[in-house]
Structure 1
Amino acid sequence: MSRTEHIGLTQRQIQSFVADGFVKIENAFSADLAKKGRDELWADIGLSPDEPEKWVQPVVRVGFKSSPPFIEAANTPPLHKAYDQLVGERRWLPPKGLGTFPIRFPSTGSPGDGGWHVDVSFGTDNPDFMEWRANVKSSGRALLMLFLFSDVGTDDAPTKIRKGSHAVIARELMPYGEAGATLRQLSAKGYASTANCEVELATGTAGTVYLCHPFLVHAAQPHLGHRPRFMAQPALLPKGEFDPALPPSPVQVAIREACGMAF
């Protein structure tokens, strides 16, 4: 049996994605690619891993990166197979890079961006980002993804994930129909409806990727460790709108189960 036949998520992992809203893939891209990516990001921000006295900001952001290490990291065979398994075969667009990168540095201060939220996916031409929208079909976003370009332990500002929160958000989006809800509407109550969800930390070694349901509620947190955390948080873009003639993908199954819809 060839190596490529072993690539992909197990049925248990897919079921966990539907239930919990995310799946963790270790060694999704190589440590060498992670190192090349970090080197580029250090150069972009004008800082050095050897000069910690200059790490004065809790977070420094870098936008979309389309150089070879980032394109390669986003398009490995294991990830392509997982995209097919979660979104539907050939129903997604191959990433042309990765971004954005909130690079977090050890700090006793608050980064100022630690609120719980979901990532909205369309209406982004509105200058008021609180008017950006999401709908129950998840138009404009197939997955939320977290790419770890450095080792991330529990003290290294791992993203906080509310397990199962995607199902709560799906139910809240359903009454808004195709027009969807704005970020202002979704965040009006501070995502209190998901407060009882178990919290998972997105930890792992460099090269780990979390593939998350678009409706997953998540949050940043302060960095209490010693080495900067490098992570990309891109969307996987869909090739088109949901086609009811095709079998529902696990992303869609999770939404339908949450909303009590027939298959």
Structure 2
Amino acid sequence: MPGITPALSRAQIEQFITDGFVRIDHAFPRALADEARAILWADTGCTPDDPSTWTRPVIRLNQYGHPPFRAAANTPVLHQALDQLVGPGRWEKRGTLGTFPVRFPSPDDPGDAGWHVDVSFNHEHPDFMEWRVNISSKGRALLMLFLFSDVGEDDAPTRIRIGSHFDMARQLAPAGEAGMSLRELAADGFARSAHRSEALATGEAGTVYLCHPFLVHAAQPHRGKNPRFMAQPSLLPAEPLMLERLEQSYSPVETAIRRALALE
């Protein structure tokens, strides 16, 4: 609408296309993060002010739809940014915030810190290594990282390979709509993107990273002092991504794939 400043500038949209992600500061209020974190702490079975109760490097909590979580996922600035990156009417509103891998300071290997992309279909298969992703990112429009605590460089921020979505698009393209399984993609340890520089998903509580669905990323051990609370939900598409549109109305998500494949 005229007179309304867009959530993302043209430079930020171009950054998303070329780097595979964009960071939105103050995407939701810190007060909502505090409310949500109190709920999560209770479900960890740990005591916030007693590190002796933090006995595991990671505790996974799942599918929170309480009011502060729903409110955090559906702020006006986020909705506008999603329209800008995926397209108005092309994504589904979130009612929950998916999985929370709560990471605690620990010398132990968390056991889940390998490089990967988030696979998005064939979830009915009992072996998650057979879950799949394809060139049109069936079942996923974006990967989103919601920070519910302050996350510094020592607080197990998600590692991101900048521009790795281009490498993945080129790897997936020959497989067409059938796509590839996580087992196939992980066979070389995601070596195709190993040359990429890394970024860390740091920020204050209330920060959200909107990531291309093909972005290669990884967890890491927590070397800081305060547990990290982050949600990593997918954004579900309301319609399939398309790499050939008669009206040429490509979203930045689609444009990034098209650039990777030299379609534009």
Aligned ranges 1:21-40 → 2 under 5 Å? 21-40=20-39
Task: Note if 1:248 corresponds to 2:253.
Answer: no
Query: CA contact under 8 A between 2:141 and 2:241: conserved in structure 1?
Result: no
- Where does residue 148 of structure 2 map in the other structure? 149
SS at match of 1:204: coil
* Residue 245 of structure 1, CA deviation: 4.5
Write out per-residue CA displacement over residues 28-65 of structure 1, whole angstroms, 9 at most, x where no aligned residue. Answer: 00000000110000111122211111001000000111
Q: Could you report, residue by residue, the CA deviation over 1:134-190 in whole angstroms, capped at 9, with x for unpaired residues?
A: 000011000000000000000000000000000000000000001111111111100
- Cα-to-partner distance string for 1:4-48 (whole Å, 9 max, x where unaligned): 812410000000000000000000000000001100001111222
Query: Aligned partners of 1:85, 1:48: CA distance in 2, in Å?
Result: 40
Question: Hey, what's the Cα distance between the residues in 2 that align with 1:245 and 1:208?
Answer: 36
Match of 2:199 in 1: 200
Q: Deviations over 1:78-107 (max 9, x none)?
A: 000000000011100010110200000000
Q: Hey, what's the Cα distance between the residues in 2 that align with 1:45 and 1:103?
A: 8
2:214 counterpart residue number: 215
Q: How does 1:31-50 map to 2 (within 5 A)?
A: 31-50=30-49
Does structure 1 residue 12 correspond to structure 2 residue 11?
Answer: yes
User: Counterpart of 2:238 in structure 1: which amino acid?
Assistant: K
Q: Are the counterparts in 1 of residues 160 and 217 from structure 2 also a CA contact under 8 Å? A: yes
- 2: CA distance between counterparts of 1:220 and 1:82? 25
Instruction: Render the CA deviation track for 1:208-231: whole Å, top value 9, x for unaligned.
Output: 000000000000000000000000
Question: 1:1-263 residue pairs with structure 2 within 5 A?
Answer: 5-242=4-241, 244-245=245-246, 247-262=249-264
Partners of 1:232 and 1:129 in 2: CA distance: 20
Determine what percentage of the aligned residue pairs are the same residue. Answer: 59
8 A Cα contact 2:59 2:103, kept in partner: yes
Distance 1:226 1:242 in 2: 41
Q: What is the RMSD of the two structures over their aligned residues, measured on CA atoms? A: 1.3
CA distance in structure 2 between the aligned counterparts of 1:20 and 1:199, rounded to whole angstroms: 10
Unaligned runs of 5+ in 1: none
Q: Which runs of 5+ in 2 are unaligned?
A: none
Is the 8 Å Cα contact of residues 150 and 230 (structure 1) preserved in structure 2?
yes
Task: Name the CA distance, whole Å, in 2 between partners of 1:58 and 1:178.
Answer: 37
CA contact (8 A) 1:64 1:100 kept: yes
2:259 alignment partner AA: E
CA contact (8 A) 1:7 1:77 kept: no
Alpha-carbon separation, structure 1, partners of 2:196 and 2:167: 10
Q: Which runs of 4+ in 1 moved over 2 A?
A: 242-246
* One-letter code aligned to 1:14: I
